[in-house]
Amino acid sequence: MGQGWSQPGRAGAVVYALAALVVGTLVTVVTRLRIAQHRGRRRAVERLPDGPIIIVSNHVSYADGVLLAIVSRRLGRSVRILATGGVFRAPLLGWLVRRLGFISVERGSIHAAAALDRAAEALAADEAVAIFPEGRTTRDPDHWPERAKTGAVRLSLRTGAPIVPLAMVGTHRVLGREHPIRSILVNVVLRPKVLVEVGRPIDVRALAGGESATAEEVRGLSDVVMGRVVSLVAELREEAAPQPTGVEAIEVRRAG
């Protein structure tokens, strides 16, 4: 757990390109992925900014990480996603995500904070880092984003990297929480639509008035950032969000 982040290098770039080609092709088989072209209106999204950026997205489905990586590639960046440690322990998949430069997050452990250290190292190398600030897939029955945790804002204050808000709608139809294999097979025929919108970069340090902020200010800034994501989700859904900065997290009790 003490290891830092290592840039994937040329070999990692080749693996990323091949994985993006293969997975991107599969994505077109089971989804209709649309980036900022919903309802046939509005401008086409520009490329993601060069240099260090932190992409934050809502989290509805277990397919979100794959879809976010594909979307980011189409917008010009190979993103390094913060993913749960279980992904890194999976056979073959663990090797792949390491080669892609993804960053492991051991949630609920003493090593959880180390993920932000590795993310800061990636940003120092001018990489694009992606975080799902809710910390889990939303438990809201209507799939609205939950209120964000503070990690993305703390990382932005620490590094100066701007935060780019991104929204994805419809991913829960790609890979459902229940019967995932069945949903994938059905999607080959039905191909659910996934809509994506990207917002303007947020200079968190400018909002904070400097590099440091109190815990209360960090909490408020996290609500501001998540509010941008929620606004994009509402725009894609053409509905009013129930809470402008994300619904309160629903606690799920485990049996036994």
Distance CA(183)–CA(93), nearest Å, equals 21
152-182 tens-digit pLDDT: 999 999 999 999 999 999 998 887 666 556 6
pLDDT of 39: 45
Identify the CATH class of 9-237. alpha beta
Q: Of 121, 145, 135, 150, nearest to 216 (Cα)?
A: 150
Average pLDDT, the chain: 88
Full-model pTM: 0.89
Judged on CB neighbours under 10 Å (0-12, 13-18, 19+), 217 is middle
182-207 tens-digit pLDDT: 666 666 667 888 999 999 999 999 99
Q: Of 248, 2, 199, 222, nearest to 111 (Cα)?
A: 2
Distance CA(145)–CA(126), nearest Å, equals 28
Distances (CA, A) of 6 to 3, 79, 146, 174: 9, 14, 31, 32
Secondary structure of the chain as H, E, C letters:
CCCCCCCCHHHHHHHHHHHHHHHHHHHHHHCEEEECCHHHCCCCCCCCCCCCEEEEECCCCCCHHHHHHHHHHHCCCCEEEEEEHHHHHCCCHHHHHHHCCCEEECCCCCCCCHHHHHHHHHHHCCCEEEECCCCCCCCCCCCCCECCCCHHHHHHHHHCCCEEEEEEECHHHCCCCCCHHHHHHHHHHHCCEEEEEECCCECHHHHHCCCCCCHHHHHHHHHHHHHHHHHHHHHHHCCCCCCCCCECCCCCCCCC
pLDDT of 28: 86
Q: Of 97, 104, 67, 98, nearest to 82 (Cα)?
A: 104
Distance CA(120)–CA(142), nearest Å, equals 34
| pLDDT mean for each 10 residues of the chain (256 residues) | 78 94 88 68 66 97 93 94 89 91 82 88 97 94 96 97 97 74 66 91 96 95 98 96 92 54
